[in-house]
Amino acid sequence: MASLSEILNSKAGLNGKSTIGFCAEKGKGMGWSLEGQTWGRPQAVTDPTVTTMMAYYYAHSTGVFTDEAHALGVDDVWDSNYAWTMNAWVQAVVWRYKSGLLSDPVVACAEELLCVYNNLEHTSYTSIDDTMDGRSFRDRAQYILDLGSQGVWGECSVYEYAYTGVSTSYHQASDVQAIMIGELNIIRQKYDLTVKKVDSTNPNKGLAGARFMVRSEKETLSPAMEMADYGNELINAILWSKCEIAKREGLFMEIQVMVPPSIPVKGYHICSLLGNLIDNAIEGSRGVKAPRIHITIQMKQSYLYCCVRNRVDRDVLRDNPNLFTTKEDASNHGFCIWTVKKIVEKYHGMVDFSVREGEFLATAMLLCQKGKD
């Protein structure tokens, strides 16, 4: 059980560490008269929006990041003032969850971010589609939740603790806040990374073009897992991450990439676009006989062309024409197609979903113009 000295000011002890907690019951009390009282009876909170937002908060406020976050460059550590701004945002999302108001997580998170920003920065934004520093509140929320669904913020175990103490002179026991606390779990491996020029069929044969031979000190990865350099650091990070997921699930993934080192498309749009398309292909490959995913990314004239194909054993468009997710946590994963379409729309591009010769094809083209990045 946790005592008040650990909880007041939204701080609670967890496994001997000091961490930030959030009030779980809006309107109930908390104060110094509760010093020495206890909270207990933890109940797991598994809502994907809550766990993602808390993981996002803990990562940036403590500086503990996944390797994917470092690779994507989303590893800035907040100062104390900004951390409290974001604390207010996550707290508002927690209260929405407790009130049953997270049916549309992106809109809910964007609306609360807008309110927090207006209150703390004395601005007067009125719509989640208003832009702040070139990005709308909706886009910001979508991006954070998308990265969370891909594990970029790490895994966060969240528990709600009920007040288990007695009434005091200032607070009745029935009117004391429960608290919600998360623990961020970041699993890292140390790698022996050697950059070599190799033939994909004969790693000892030198060739032009770099491949990365990755070995884990704990040997939990294959002894010679090859990670191709696709010539673009952001696309490298995305594809390496997805390849590792596919490999764990026994999915064969073939990749063809021909892109320049710099593309005039915002990084968070590339991450959301490719992440959603590939995640959709991985999901669609589960349970399919001889699964295979083929990814093509290249420039076609002024367009960034992305095509992700995966084998299917039925016409998924006939069975599911709106491409609703089949995942149980649909509130977190149900935005794949919507997200792709919104990004394509921003870049005056084209998107198409089709089934041909036993494959599901998802194709997106973004018009690349200088000044977009």
CA quadruple 11, 24, 64, 185: dihedral sign: positive
- Neighbouring residues of 234: CB distance < 8 A, sequence distance ≥ 6: 72, 73, 267, 270, 271
What pLDDT is recorded for position 323?
56
pLDDT at 195 > cutoff 60: no
Average pLDDT value for the chain: 78
pTM, two decimal places: 0.56
Cα-Cα-Cα-Cα dihedral of 341, 344, 346, 347, to 10°? -170
pLDDT of 370:
64
pLDDT at 144 over 90: yes
Which of 202-216, 312-326, 343-357 has the highest mean predicted lDDT (pLDDT)? 343-357
Confidence (pLDDT) at 238: 87
Q: Rounded mean pLDDT of 116-133?
A: 88
Q: What is the pLDDT of residue 317?
A: 64
Average pLDDT over residues 135-149: 92
The residue-averaged pLDDT of 30-43 equals 80
Q: What is the mean pLDDT of residues 269-288?
A: 88
Whole-number Å distance between alpha carbons of 372 and 263:
9
Q: For 337-356, how does the pLDDT look when each residue is reduced to its tens digit (9 = 90+)? A: 777 888 899 899 999 988 88
Give the contacts of 317 (CB within 8 A, at least 6 positions apart): 323, 353, 354, 355, 360
pLDDT at 211: 39
**Residue 78: is its pLDDT beyond 80?**
yes
pLDDT tens column, 175-190: 888 889 898 886 544 3
H helices present in the chain, as ranges? 4-7, 48-62, 67-72, 80-98, 105-121, 137-149, 233-248, 267-285, 316-319, 330-333, 336-346
Q: What is the mean pLDDT of residues 127-136?
A: 91
Count each helix (H run) and each strand (E run) in the chain, helices first: 11, 16
pLDDT of residue 106: 95
Taking residues 250-279, report their average pLDDT.
88
Q: What confidence tier does 9 reach under pLDDT thresholds 50, 70, 90?
A: very low
pLDDT band for position 22 (50/70/90)? confident
122: region left, alpha or beta (phi > 0 left; psi from -120 to 50 alpha): left
| Distance of alpha carbon 240 from the chain centroid | 16
Domains and CATH numbers, the chain: 2-185 (no CATH), 189-229 (no CATH), 231-367 (3.30.565.10)
Position 79 pLDDT exceeds 50: yes
What CA–CA distances, in Å, run from 240 to 124, 129, 164, 218, 308? 41, 32, 47, 19, 15
Which has more confidence, 34 or 302?
302
Place of tokens 């008269």: 33
Residue 215 — very low, low, confident or very high, per pLDDT cuts 50/70/90? very low
Check residues 217 and 361 and name the one with the higher pLDDT.
Answer: 361
Residue with the two structure tokens 């979508």: 142
| Distance, CA of 258 to CA of 242 (rounded, Å) | 18
Strand partners, 193: 214
Q: Which among 254, 321, 250, 320 is positioned nearest to 285, based on CA atoms?
A: 250
Which of 155, 149, 176 has the alpha carbon at shortest distance from 282? 149
Q: Are 163 and 176 in contact (CB under 8 A)?
A: yes
> What is the model's pLDDT at position 190?
39
- Around Cβ 87, how many Cβ atoms within 10 Å? 17
